[in-house]
């Protein structure tokens, strides 16, 4: 007497028992020989990145201060200014009364991004 063959999937993605998922995942991970390359940065590279982050942070803080009218007397943006950071040229245009324009140009590809930051005038009672 012959019995009927019944197919029952193992993988839960195809209707198998959900409790099989951990077992299947651990088998797949043990067979995976690919390892992502670990790129160690030198101290010089880490230091340069830290300087650039600090530099850009300072630029953003100054732009925000000028936009809100804070510490305008001591700003590095008393006039329009251009800065270089890596492959990027950052031009800050503060000569317009209503907005501060920041033009970021990738010098290697020529791609350009323009940001317009509105100026907020502070009223004497402290409101905007």
* pLDDT tens digits, 36-66: 888 899 999 899 889 888 988 988 888 888 7
- Considering the entire predicted model, what is its pTM? 0.55
- Which pLDDT score, from 0 to 100, does residue 65 have? 82
- Which pLDDT score, from 0 to 100, does residue 25 have? 92
Phi-psi region of 40 (alpha: psi -120 to 50; beta: other; left: phi over 0): beta
Q: Copy the structure tokens of residue 113.
A: 């991004």
Q: Which is it for strands 81-85 and 88-93: parallel, antiparallel or unpaired?
A: antiparallel
Q: How far is CA 13 from CA 20, 21, 104, 125, in A?
A: 10, 9, 47, 63
- Which pLDDT score, from 0 to 100, does residue 108 have? 93
pLDDT over 80 at 128, yes or no: no
DSSP string, 39-106: -PPPHHHHHHHHHHHHHHHHHHHHHHHHHHTSS-TT-TTSS-EEEEETTEEEEEE--SSSEEEEEEEE
Task: State pLDDT tens for residues 5-43.
Answer: 888 999 999 999 999 999 999 999 999 988 888 889 999
Locate the domains of the chain by residue range.
1-32, 43-118
Task: State pLDDT tens for residues 74-91.
Answer: 666 677 888 888 888 989
């Amino acid at each position: 007497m012959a019995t009927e063959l019944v197919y029952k999937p193992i993988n839960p993605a195809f209707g198998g028992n959900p409790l099989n998922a951990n077992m299947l995942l651990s088998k797949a991970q043990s067979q995976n020989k690919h390892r992502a390359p670990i790129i160690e940065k030198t101290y010089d590279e880490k230091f340069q990145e830290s300087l650039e982050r600090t530099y850009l942070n300072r630029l953003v803080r100054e732009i925000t201060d000028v936009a809100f009218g804070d510490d305008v007397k001591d700003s590095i943006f008393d006039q329009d200014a251009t800065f270089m950071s890596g492959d990027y040229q950052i031009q800050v245009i503060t000569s317009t009364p209503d907005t501060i324009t920041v033009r970021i140009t990738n010098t290697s590809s020529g791609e350009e991004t323009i940001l317009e930051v509105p100026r907020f005038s502070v009223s004497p009672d402290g409101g905007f």
